Amino acid sequence: MSVLTVCPYCGTGCQIIVNDSDTGERVTGYSKSPVNSGKLCIKGYSGLSYNFSKQRLKYPQIKRNGEFVRVTWEEAFGEVSTKLLGIIKRYGPDAVAFQSSAKCTNEENYLMQKIARLVGTNNIDHCARSCHSPTALGLITTLGAGAATGSIRSLEDSKTYFVIGSNTTEQHPIIGTEIVKERKKGKNLVVADPRKTQLAELATLHLQFNPGTDVALLNSIMYSILEEQLQDENFIESRTQGYTDFKTEVEKYAPEVTEGITGIDPQDIREAARLIASERPTAILYAMGITQHIHGTENVMSVSNLALLTGNIGVRGSGIFPLRGQNNVQGSSDMGDLSEWYPGYVPVDSPRVKKFEELWQKTLPKTKGLALSEMFDAAADGRIKAIYVMGENPLVTETAISDVEKGIENLELFVVQDIFMTLTAGAADVVLPAATSLEKEGTFTNTERRIQKVNKVFDPPGEAKPDWWILNEIGKRVAGIRGYVSPRMIFEEIGNAIPSYSGASYDNIYPTGKQWPINSDEPDGTEILHTKSFPIGRGKFIPVSYGPPAESVDEKYDLIMTTGRNYFHYHSGTMSRRTDILNRESPGPYAEISPEDAKRLGVRNSQYITIESRHGSIKTQARITNRVPAGIIFVPFHFDESRVNRLVGKKLDPLSKIPEFKVVAVRVLT
């Protein structure tokens, strides 16, 4: 049997056909897919073996006297629900926090936030906090919708690509290859990245700017556009607001002034400005290089300003493309698994929450909950007594990890629901074995807002169960839900809860998915957003001024470290490191260091080094490469034996509460 489903890795959401064991477990790209047209990257082809790993969790376990003991599901549910209810009774619902996952389905994310809110707390958050929370906030503020404005397929109509803070061929490979192919045909490509990525090598222009200086860079590009009068006056006049104030701010950023901040030659800034503004339509693609900063939300708004200034929005081939890192980070955010929003981005303090009170028949909490980046600190100081984690590995992925450990130790109940015994699961009181996305049904929403059907290929091992089933049982016991018999039933409720999903059903999104908003006005979904107007009427220019990153180099910490993923791995490595080919290609931790810095520090290739920041230190292996310039080192975050997030500081973007994973002052010791 072969099943059409969705790749479990990045947010591109490639559709895959997977054969079951009878037909050889083969993976093939779905050639009719509007997302990937049958193409896949190495993670699609070789990344699924973790499903069959002998290390999969097969039954529920409770820690007794420091050892995990196998229990029945009934016992596990009894333990979790009794303790949760006890904690809520003793300390109130805000003593409990939930962490959902962008790797899980829409149905599961919807269910988890519903349970959190029914027990009375908005302490529900997930990994979108650490990736695209600035996008949601930034673009909702400026455009009215926190999502990609166009489709992957529409990129074929672009004349120019402006890629900032995205290593697209490695992180969203099938989107990256669209750009590679179009570039080969002669399209323009401007890449702004501190590292020399594959796209940077192919680019018309590579702006290799200093990490954390995005606003200065973008403002100077916009200064140059205004200087040469390349702005789209007609668009500004008819579709936007706030132009005058924005212009006043941007006029302070002559490229000659910002050169000292960004390190970019004014001539290159002007050349970039001409390409972006004149060779239209221009698509602007960005990822974590924009968002993972204490100015993340301002960076996003700055990108939005650029699109509005040049009229690059609402037309095929133009637009803003925040590239989503995980398979369902768009969907999990849409579902309201963020502590400040109910489903469909309804602010928790908005009168519109009433709608959910009617739908769920309960008075709901209306104050902001804790962000993921705040939950463990709250546990460490005693405000949080129980945390329920679904499919996340915060011991590896959160910043200043020692405090995460302290937080976990301080909890009365720590529940982890996962497919493997991760570092975090190992610290739990109760571990619940979950099914992978190839073992269950549901939907994912990809980076272009396409809601796609996820279908079951294999049976889960042992007693492992789909996350929705587990949550359903927990929800019946702690939140008074009546219970769902299938993911389909949950999806139907999602259609009632979120207007932009209201026209979607399991039947009409199969096989090729549909892009939200899908409703009675747009029954086939919406490929391009904002063609005539914005959900907020006019697009908003927001003046953004440059502020430096939280950390800078000094005599002791003389290098800037930036972190990220590599091509072969995915986040904390739970899946990809249990997948033969991927793990073989990238078997262990390393740091990319420039030949200049290596020479200065006396570091040889493959030598073990210690990287120390103001917050911690790790041991890793040096990889000397020209991909990074002198003064910058790059460290991937997949490796739990060398947790780079120990080095990242706790300062957050005050608006979105995302930590600054991209700029950390460090030194290298040999």
Among residues 94, 108, 125, 170, the one that binds another protein under rule CB under 8 A: 170
Secondary structure (3-state) at 213: coil
Specify the DSSP class assigned to residue 602. Answer: T
Interatomic CA distance for residues 529 and 319, integer angstroms: 9
Among residues 65, 66, 184, 351, the one that binds another protein under rule CB under 8 A: 184
Q: Applying CB under 8 A, does 42 fall inside the site for another protein?
A: yes
| Residue found under tokens 């990129």 | 155
Interatomic CA distance for residues 242 and 121, integer angstroms: 37
Q: How far does Cα 119 stand from its chain's mean position?
A: 27
Q: Applying CB under 8 A, does 49 fall inside the site for another protein?
A: yes
Among residues 93, 144, 165, 176, the one that binds another protein under rule CB under 8 A: 176
Instruction: Find the helix or strand (DSSP H, E) in which 180 lies.
Output: helix 173-184
Q: Which stretch binds another protein (CB under 8 A): 32-40, 77-85, 98-106, 439-447?
A: 32-40
Q: Which stretch binds another protein (CB under 8 A): 29-37, 256-264, 270-278, 379-387?
A: 29-37
Min CB(603)–another protein separation in Å:
20
What lies within 8 Å, CB to CB, of 358 at 6+ separation is none
Measured torsion, CA atoms of residues 216, 219, 225, 227, in degrees rounded to the nearest 10: -80
Q: Are 7 and 16 in contact (CB under 8 A)?
A: yes
Question: Which of the residues 446 through 465 are near another protein (CB under 8 A)?
Answer: none
Minimum CB distance to another protein smaller for 232 or for 441: 441
Kindly give the residue spans of alpha helices, DSSP state H, lying in 15-132: 42-46, 73-91, 106-119
Among residues 31, 367, 402, 606, the one that binds another protein under rule CB under 8 A: 31
Please give the sequence-ordered ranges of beta strands (E in DSSP) within 208-307, or none if there are none: 240-241, 282-286
Q: Applying CB under 8 A, does 40 fall inside the site for another protein?
A: yes
State the greatest distance between any 2 C-alpha atoms of the chain, in Å, as a whole number: 71
Sheet order of strands, 160-164 included:
205-207, 188-192, 160-164, 282-286, 319-322
Minimum CB distance to another protein smaller for 38 or for 120: 38
Residues 216-255, one symbol each (x = binds another protein by CB under 8 A, - = not), give ----------------------------------------
Q: Which stretch binds another protein (CB under 8 A): 17-25, 272-280, 608-616, 634-642?
A: 17-25
Residues 294-323, one symbol each (x = binds another protein by CB under 8 A, - = not), give ------------------------------
Count of residues that bind another protein according to CB under 8 A: 48
Q: Applying CB under 8 A, does 505 fall inside the site for another protein?
A: no
Q: Which two tokens stand for residue 210?
A: 């200093």
Interatomic CA distance for residues 40 and 444, integer angstroms: 17
First to last CA, the chain: 54
Minimum CB distance to another protein smaller for 30 or for 557: 30
Q: Applying CB under 8 A, does 625 fall inside the site for another protein?
A: no
Q: Are 190 and 274 in contact (CB under 8 A)?
A: no
Min CB(154)–another protein separation in Å:
18
Among residues 64, 70, 89, 181, the one that binds another protein under rule CB under 8 A: 181
Secondary structure (3-state) at 3: strand
Residues 560-599, one symbol each (x = binds another protein by CB under 8 A, - = not), give -------x------------xx--xx-x------------
Three-state SS for 502-539 is CCCCCCCCCCCCEECCCCCCCCCCCCCCCCCCECCECE
Among residues 8, 10, 13, 30, the one that binds another protein under rule CB under 8 A: 30
Q: Applying CB under 8 A, does 173 fall inside the site for another protein?
A: yes
- Residue 353 falls in which region: left (phi positive, over 0), alpha (psi -120 to 50) or beta: alpha
Q: Applying CB under 8 A, does 54 fall inside the site for another protein?
A: yes
Specify the DSSP class assigned to residue 157. Answer: G
Q: Are 433 and 462 in contact (CB under 8 A)?
A: yes
Minimum CB distance to another protein smaller for 582 or for 633: 582
Among residues 121, 160, 167, 169, the one that binds another protein under rule CB under 8 A: 169
Q: Applying CB under 8 A, does 29 fall inside the site for another protein?
A: yes
What lies within 8 Å, CB to CB, of 29 at 6+ separation is 14, 15, 16, 17, 36, 37, 38, 39, 40, 44
Among residues 6, 12, 13, 46, the one that binds another protein under rule CB under 8 A: 46
Instruction: Find the helix or strand (DSSP H, E) in which 400 lies.
Output: none
Interatomic CA distance for residues 200 and 216, integer angstroms: 20
Interatomic CA distance for residues 665 and 468, integer angstroms: 42
Question: Which of the residues 201 through 220 are near another protein (CB under 8 A)?
Answer: 201-202
Q: Applying CB under 8 A, does 177 fall inside the site for another protein?
A: yes
Pairing of strands 559-564, 632-636: parallel
Q: Applying CB under 8 A, does 32 fall inside the site for another protein?
A: yes
Among residues 10, 27, 87, 408, the one that binds another protein under rule CB under 8 A: 27
Q: Which stretch binds another protein (CB under 8 A): 179-187, 223-231, 348-356, 490-498?
A: 179-187
Among residues 6, 8, 12, 26, the one that binds another protein under rule CB under 8 A: 26
Binding region for another protein (CB under 8 A): 1-2, 4, 17, 19, 22-32, 38-42, 44-46, 49, 52-55, 169-170, 173-174, 176-177, 180-181, 184, 198, 201-202, 511, 567, 580-581, 584-585, 587
